């Protein structure tokens, strides 16, 4: 069939005289399909990376847990701390693994150029906040070692170290309060708005101190 579209088979679907011509709506359909495929890829890439990171975190926590229990099996204090922090350790490793896995999956892909940049950025933000929360929980659980050590000493002294155990309880609560506060501020500092506010306050305090 003569015509300008004969020499280029790739253009046959755009030729009005071609039986394969699907019209302008067909061209839009092809574009919509390409966009949908690219959107699915943009969303699936960090999710797959996060899933792989979760599995890696579970394996790492399992190996570290076994090694720690074998290495410190003769220490009653450290063994008690490991028992208290076991669940927090697994969750912390899984969430950090998910966050790092998602970041690695996006190394060769620009988030700003992705069709779902806002969703990908939101996913990364949520994973990072969860990682901060799990790290805070892990440190909070580990702080019980202070009171556990005092309780073990008290049982060894047959109750003569009750005062020391009370002081250890107060210290444990103070440490846990500090850990929670640090975790909250760490999470808040992930938001640019908070960084600007704190930067302005520190700058104002610097000017006042100079004056």
DSSP string over 57-96: HHHHHHHHHHHHHHHTTT-HHHHHHHHHTHHHHHHHHHHH
**In the block, residue with structure tokens 């943009």:** 42
Please name the residues in contact with 106: beta carbons below 8 A apart, sequence gap of 6 or more: 45, 46, 49, 120
Quick one: average pLDDT of 119-139?
91
Predicted pLDDT at 12: 44
Tell me how far apart the alpha carbons of residues 133 and 182 are, in angstroms, rounded to a whole number: 11
Cβ–Cβ under 8 Å, residues 101 and 53: yes
Predicted TM-score (pTM) of the model is 0.71
Read off the pLDDT of residues 43-59 as tens digits, 9 standing for 90 and up.
777 888 889 999 999 99
> Would you give the distance in Å from CA 12 to the centre of its chain?
49
Reported as a pLDDT band with limits 50, 70 and 90, residue 1 is very low
DSSP state of 12: G
First to last CA, the chain: 87
Share of the chain above pLDDT 70, in %: 66
Please determine, for residue 18, whether its predicted confidence score (pLDDT) is greater than 70: no
What average pLDDT does the chain have? 77
Select the more confidently predicted residue: 199 or 103.
103
Cβ–Cβ under 8 Å, residues 121 and 80: no
H-assigned helices in the chain = 23-71, 76-84, 86-105, 117-142, 145-156, 162-188, 192-210
């Amino acid at each position: 069939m003569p015509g300008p579209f004969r020499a280029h088979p790739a253009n046959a679907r755009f030729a009005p005289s071609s039986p394969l011509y699907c019209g302008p709506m067909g061209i839009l359909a092809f574009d919509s399909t390409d966009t949908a495929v690219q959107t699915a890829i943009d969303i699936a890439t960090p999710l797959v990376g996060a899933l792989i990171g979760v599995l890696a975190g579970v394996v790492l926590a399992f190996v570290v847990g076994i090694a720690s229990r074998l290495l410190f099996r003769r220490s009653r204090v450290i063994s008690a701390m490991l028992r208290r922090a076991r669940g927090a350790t697994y969750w912390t490793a899984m969430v950090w693994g998910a966050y790092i896995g998602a970041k690695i999956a996006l190394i060769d892909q620009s988030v700003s150029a992705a069709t779902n940049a806002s969703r990908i950025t939101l996913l990364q933000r949520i994973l990072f906040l969860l990682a901060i929360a799990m790290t805070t929980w892990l440190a909070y659980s580990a702080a019980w070692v202070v009171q556990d050590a005092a309780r073990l000493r008290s049982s060894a002294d047959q109750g003569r170290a009750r005062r020391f155990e009370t002081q250890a309880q107060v210290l444990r609560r103070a440490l846990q309060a500090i850990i929670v506060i640090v975790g909250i501020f760490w999470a808040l500092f992930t938001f640019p708005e908070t960084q600007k506010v704190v930067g302005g306050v520190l700058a104002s305090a610097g000017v006042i101190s100079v004056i």
